[in-house]
Amino acid sequence: MFFSKTIVGIDIGEYAIKIAELSGTGKHVTLKNYAWAKTPESAKTSPDTAAHVIREMMDEAGIATKKAFFAVSDTSYFCTTFEIPPMPEKEVAGAVAYNASRYVTMPIGEVTLDWQIMQPVRAGAALKIFAAAVPNTVIEQYRSIAKKAGLKLIALEAEAFTIKSALAAGSTKVICIIDAGAKSSTITIADRGTIKESYTFTKDPKALAESLKEIDDNFFNQEHKHIEEIYLTGGNITAPGFRDAIAQSIGRPVTIRNCFEGISYPPALKNTLADISPSFAGAVGAALNGLQLNL
């Protein structure tokens, strides 16, 4: 017998805190509830304030679930890609940590690595690794927030992974996801649902579009593929000139992807969820990934 699980995904952004409560098993997922609140300035540095706001949000929305999966903000981690020689699976984690130390700007003992192999493993072939390094101080902050909010912290994951899960997990194409936040934007390239590259910028739309052209050219040089589609998400995608600049940069289709697509919810919420979707990809993806864990 299969039992439905319920979990909340939480994304603490520069501008807003988003919570998505999902339940389900396998591919059958239902939106039980959601909540949104502006992030108080003090919450960005105080776990007490952030926890208080989250608890108030959940109480007001009637969210009783205690299991929480947090998306770690893109400004709080470092991303890098590298190759390691072919080796037994049990040795990969150690090799990733050793090689990541050459790229991460902090001592490797002060960070926790979130990583994935970027292509199917083939005998004798080097392994391409995408890694995100989260400072341990950041992890302790999230643990403190969860504890003070009365939540059971299931996992933390870099926002690049959670947003990819919400928007492009089942795609067979090369997708560029642009997450336009209040103070920074992240460009993530996913090929057939696997992250290949991720970059964070603090640039205006025109400059970001110019960077996208360079990223597409570099990706083609390395993978012999071009970006096929561009998905926009994030609370700042309505900034004047943003979508036009991105659309003109490399001439690929640009879509504002709905992170609630494929999730069951009352039909009356269709328009509301479409409107808020750009702000909720991190939280929804976190909850989706939480449901996949063997809790």
How is residue 3 written in tokens?
Answer: 């039992």
Q: Are residues 179 and 246 in the same domain?
A: yes
User: Do 70 and 110 have their domain in common?
Assistant: no
Q: From the CB of residue 52, how many other CB atoms can be counted at a distance below 10 Å?
A: 17
Do both 89 and 184 map to the same domain? no
Token pair belonging to 171: 């795609």
Does one domain contain both 94 and 224? no
Reference 48, options 132, 112, 143, 144; nearest CA is 144
Domain at 114, CATH number: 3.30.1490.300
Q: How high is the pLDDT of residue 26?
A: 67
Bridge partner residues of 291 (DSSP): none
State the maximum Cα–Cα separation within the chain, in Å, rounded to a whole number.
55
Q: What is the pLDDT of residue 122?
A: 78
Same domain as 148, residue 60: yes
Report the distance separating Cα 107 and Cα 72, nearest Å. Answer: 19
Q: What is the sign, positive or negative, of the torsion defined by CA atoms of 114, 120, 123, 126?
A: negative
pLDDT tens for the chain, 295 residues long, are: 355 799 999 999 988 999 999 999 767 899 999 999 999 988 878 999 999 999 999 999 999 999 999 999 888 888 888 999 999 888 999 999 999 988 888 898 999 988 888 877 777 889 999 999 999 999 999 999 999 999 999 999 999 999 999 999 889 999 999 999 878 889 999 999 899 999 988 777 678 888 999 999 999 998 999 999 999 999 888 888 888 889 999 999 999 999 999 999 999 999 999 999 999 999 999 999 999 986 6
Tokens of 190: 């996913």
Burial class (CB in 10 A: 0-12, 13-18, 19+), 88: exposed
pLDDT confidence of residue 232: 95
Q: Are residues 32 and 145 located together in one domain of the fold?
A: yes
φ, ψ dihedrals at 272, nearest 5°: -65, -45
pLDDT of residue 1: 38
85 contacts: CB under 8 Å, gap ≥ 6: 95, 126, 127
Quick one: 246 and 184 in the same domain?
yes
CATH number where 279 lies: 3.30.420.40
Total structural domains in the chain? 3
Tell me the residue ranges of DSSP E strands in the chain.
5-12, 16-25, 28-38, 67-72, 78-84, 111-117, 127-135, 152-158, 174-180, 185-191, 194-201, 229-233, 254-256
| Same-domain check for residues 71 and 201 | no
**Domain that includes residue 123, residue range:** 77-132
The residue among 236, 184, 235, 187 whose CA lies nearest residue 209 is 187
Of the candidates 211, 195, 119, the residue with the CA atom closest to the CA atom of residue 163:
195
> Domain check: are 145 and 279 in the same one?
yes
The answer to whether residues 92 and 137 belong to one domain is no
| Pair (293, 149) in one structural domain | yes
Based on the fold, state whether residues 206 and 252 are members of the same structural domain. Answer: yes
Question: What's the rounded Cα separation, in Å, for the pair 202 and 165?
Answer: 24
Look at the block and give the residue holding tokens 């805190």.
17
